[in-house]
DNA sequence: GTCTATAGGCGGATAGAC
DNA sequence: GTCTATCCGCCTATAGAC
């Protein structure tokens, strides 16, 4: 069974031996989901272990501590986000499109990233940990890294970057809230979702009302 | 010298009696700070108790459970925010100013509310708890309540309301991150803060680098 | 590479004194 | 109205077997 198969039905198979690099990746994947959903303190190493289909002790053994695991999750999320943005910027520069278009393109890229809900949410959860010596510091650096990318590589001015990030936070908030649960109950949830995501998010609601993007 | 003598001569009064309504208010105040800083799961009833200068058991005794206390903190924050916005709307309608001005006025009111940092942060922390049966539901309702107020009472259209909320989330994020710690280190923190708060936030940094607003 | 068992600490909640 | 003492469950981390 390939790694990819394993990823798609995570806790189905009873633990098989696996190269530790692959196992690492799998745990990081699960941890990203769980941290994203419940936050750093709300998540348990046992919950992460169960999501990855292995024992609690092994999670800790592999990463040293819950804190170190979270830091890895955070950096990995950052890594994916910035890689995606840099690809968009590179493609844009090769395209000859008018400069202002980059803002729009990055927005679309961000909406695409929502498919990786856990990634964006674990980022956001880190932003709520400013008080923590270790995690707070990493979160601040990460946040500024994104800002600097928008400013220095996408050449947005501070106001544009601010508005861009603001919309990102808004979308993250709505993801975290699981707002789609209220869809159609005439509370305004639908119109607000549309305003926030520009009607560009093809929503699929699962049984628990959670939203995932399909494309 | 007897123990009693000793006690009666000390002016570091161990907790004084107080009408329970007042005590309630005091606990809610402290809880708002602590929950705002550390989130629902990260906060402890003991931490809240110490912030309020009373015993852990008494906090639980008075509110029944940590969860109930958080719900009260959340509703109280919502209450303050909506009251403030409604006051602005009422004043605006009496002023005869052009309708579009309301957006700007509400923004200023929000920035004023940052003085009550804990309040805004505890709200934001609730938005990250969508997965929780009880708290998630309360948070969703609260979020939509604010949206409905902007739409139905301030008469913003969905796009305006979305952008307004987006900027709010951005400011909350920066508050939670304690970004001002990086002020002046040429990372862009300053220019981003200025873009986000429109240069309208008179910042005072305390010893720990935490920001509070003065006016 | 992965597990089971368990130590050790913390946190929420309850009982009961004052 | 408020405290101290304490129970119990949960969670992280470690030890050690396979």
Chain B residues 167-186 with CB within 8 Å of chain A: 167, 169-170, 172-173, 176-179, 181-182
The secondary structure element, H or E, covering residue B212 is strand B211-213
* Residue A58, CA atoms < 13 Å, CB-side half-sphere: 17
pLDDT digits (tens, 9 = 90+) for A173-197: 999 999 877 776 678 998 999 999 9
Task: Give A212's pLDDT tier (boundaries 50, 70, 90).
Answer: low
- The whole-angstrom distance between residue A36's C-alpha and the CA centroid of its chain comes to 7
The number of domains in chain A is 1
What pLDDT is recorded for position B202?
57
What pLDDT is recorded for position B182?
76
What pLDDT is recorded for position B23?
98
Give the Cα separation of A1 and B31 in Å (integer): 50
Decide if B184 is inside a domain: no
Q: Rounded to the nearest 5°, which phi and psi values hold at B213? A: -95, 145
Decide if A110 is inside a domain: yes
Decide if B90 is inside a domain: yes
Q: Is the shortest CB-to-strand distance from A160 to strand C under 7 Å? A: no
What pLDDT is recorded for position A6?
38
Chain D nucleotides covered by protein, CB below 7 Å? 1-6, 10-16
Report whether pLDDT(A213) > 60: no
Which residues in chain B land under pLDDT 50? Answer: 1-13, 205, 207, 209, 214-215
Give the Cα separation of A191 and A197 in Å (integer): 10
Decide if A94 is inside a domain: yes
Chain A residues 49-78 within 7 Å (CB) of strand C: 54-58, 61
Decide if A69 is inside a domain: yes
Decide if A207 is inside a domain: no
The alpha helices in chain A, defined as continuous H runs, are 3-8, 20-42, 45-52, 56-63, 66-95, 101-113, 117-127, 133-148, 158-177, 189-197
Decide if A199 is inside a domain: no
The tokens describing B172, both together, are 């909350």
Query: A199 or B90: whose pLDDT is higher?
Result: B90
Q: Which residue has the tokens 């607003």?
A: B213
Residue B162 near residue B143, CB atoms below 8 Å: no
pLDDT digits (tens, 9 = 90+) for A143-162: 999 999 999 999 999 999 99
Which region among A69-78, A104-113, A188-197, B177-186 has the lowest average model confidence (pLDDT)?
A: B177-186
Q: Which of A128, A130, A192 sits opposite B128 (nearest CB)?
A: A128
Q: Is the pTM of this model over 0.85?
A: yes
Chain B residues 27-66 within 7 Å (CB) of strand C: 43-46, 56-57, 60-61, 64-66
Boundaries of domain holding B49: 3-176
Query: Is there a contact between B144 and A187 if contact means CB atoms under 8 Å apart?
Result: yes
The alpha helices in chain B, defined as continuous H runs, are 3-9, 20-42, 45-52, 56-63, 66-95, 101-113, 117-127, 133-148, 158-177, 189-197
Report whether pLDDT(A96) > 70: yes
Chain B residues 39-78 with CB within 8 Å of chain A: 39-42
Report whether pLDDT(A43) > 80: yes
Decide if A195 is inside a domain: no
What pLDDT is recorded for position B2?
40
Q: Rounded to the nearest 5°, which phi and psi values hold at A213? A: -95, 145
A106: domain CATH number is 1.10.357.10
- Substitution target in B188, B198, B205, B206 with the highest count of A β-carbons within 10 Å is B188
Give the Cα separation of B78 and B140 in Å (integer): 12
Question: What is the overall mean pLDDT for chain A?
Answer: 89
Beta-bridge mates of residue A123: none
């Amino acid at each position: 069974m390939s790694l990819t198969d394993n990823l798609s039905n995570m806790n189905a198979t009873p633990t098989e031996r696996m190269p530790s690099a692959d196992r690492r990746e799998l745990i990081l994947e699960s941890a990203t989901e769980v941290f994203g959903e419940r936050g750093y303190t709300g998540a348990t190493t046992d919950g992460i272990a169960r999501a990855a289909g292995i024992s609690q002790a092994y999670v800790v053994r592999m990463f040293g501590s819950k804190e170190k695991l979270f830091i890895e999750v955070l950096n990995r999320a950052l890594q994916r986000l910035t890689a995606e943005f840099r690809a968009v910027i590179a493609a844009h520069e090769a395209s000859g499109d008018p400069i202002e278009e980059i803002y729009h393109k990055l927005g679309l890229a961000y909406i695409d990233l929502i498919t990786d809900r856990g990634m964006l949410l674990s980022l956001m959860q880190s932003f709520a940990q400013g008080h923590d010596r270790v995690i707070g510091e990493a979160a601040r650096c990460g946040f500024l890294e994104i800002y600097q990318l928008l400013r220095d590589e996408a050449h947005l001015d501070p106001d544009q970057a601010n508005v861009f990030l603001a919309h990102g936070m808004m979308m993250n908030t709505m993801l975290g809230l699981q707002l789609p649960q209220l869809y159609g109950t005439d509370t305004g949830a639908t119109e607000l979702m549309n305003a926030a995501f520009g009607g560009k998010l093809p929503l699929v609601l699962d049984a628990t009302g959670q939203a995932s993007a399909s494309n």
